[in-house]
Homo-oligomer: A and B are copies of this chain.
Amino acid sequence: MPGDVQKNPVEKIPALSRQRLGDQIADVLRKQILLGELRPGSNIPERETASALGVSRTPLREALLILEVEGLVIMAPARSPIVANPSLEDLTQLLLVQSALEALAGECACEEITNDEFDHIESLHLHMLASSDISDDSLDFFSTDMAFHEAIVASTKNPPLIKTHRQYNARLWRARFMSSRRKIKRASTLRDHTNIVEGLKKRDKAQTSAALGEHLRIAITNIAGIFAREDNPE
C-alpha cells in the first residue's frame, strides 16, 4: 500500500524527554483515537504498533494500560487490544454521569471562578455565536464547544473533578463530534450556552448547574438520533 503512514509515522516519539514514555504514547494514541485515525473496534497489536511508533513494547503496554483504565481501550487475554466501540447504551450511561459532573462543576464554578476565567469562557461563547452563521467549519465549532465546557470545569479548581471529566470527555468525544456535525442542533446548543453564561455571570448556582445538566441530557437524545440514522441511513 503506497503512502501508508502507519508504518513510518510522522508522530514519532522524540528521543529524549522529561516525561514517562508510556504517558507520551498514551497521549499520542488517545489523540489518534479521538481523531478517528484509530477507528473504534480496530486492533492495536503490540509489536506492530510499538515498532511503528519506534518504541519497545514495554512503554506501549503502559500506554495501553492507561487507556484501558480510562475506558478507551479494551484488553482481553490472548487478544489484541482494541479501541473501545461504545454502544448507544454505553454512551447514554457515560453522558448521564458527565451531566452530573458538569452540573456539579457549574455549582462550584459559581464560587471559584475568577473574572478572567469568566471572560475567557464568555469569549469562547461569543466565538461560537459568531462562527455558527458564517462558517462551515464543524471542527472549529465543535472544538470550541469542548473548550467551553472544559474551561468551566477547570474554573472549579477541583483536580479530581477536572480529571474525571476529562476522562469521560475522551470516551464521549467521538460520539459528540458526530453529533455536532448536525448543524440543525447548533441553535439549541447556543441557547443552552447562553443560559450557562448568564448563570455564571450572576454566579447563580442553581441556574448554572441546571443549565449544564440539562444541556448534556439533551445531548443524549441527539446522539441517539445519530445512531438511529446510522442504522437506517437516509
Contact = CB atoms under 8 A, between A and B. Distances in A.
Nearest to A58: B58
A67 B90 CA distance: 24
How many copies of this chain does one complex carry? Answer: 2
A70 B97 CA distance: 17
Interface in A59-114: 61-62, 65-66, 69-71, 75, 77, 90, 93-94, 96-97, 100-101, 103-104, 108
Contact of A160 (B22, B71, B77): B71
A62 B57 CA distance: 13
Contacts of A20: 75, 77
A161 interface: yes
Interface residues of A, number: 31
Contacts of A96: 104, 108, 158, 161
A164 interface: yes
Contacts of A61: 62
A159 interface: yes
B97 A164 contact: yes
| 8 interchain residue pairs of minimum CB distance | A100-B104, A69-B69, A93-B158, A97-B161, A100-B100, A94-B160, A93-B160, A97-B160
Interface of A: 18-20, 22, 58, 61-62, 65-66, 69-71, 75, 77, 90, 93-94, 96-97, 100-101, 103-104, 108, 158-161, 164, 168, 171
Contact of A97 (B77, B90, B101): B101
A24 to B, nearest CB: 13
B164 A77 contact: no
Contacts of A93: 158-161
A29 B70 CA distance: 20
Contacts of A158: 93, 96-97
A124 to B, nearest CB: 24
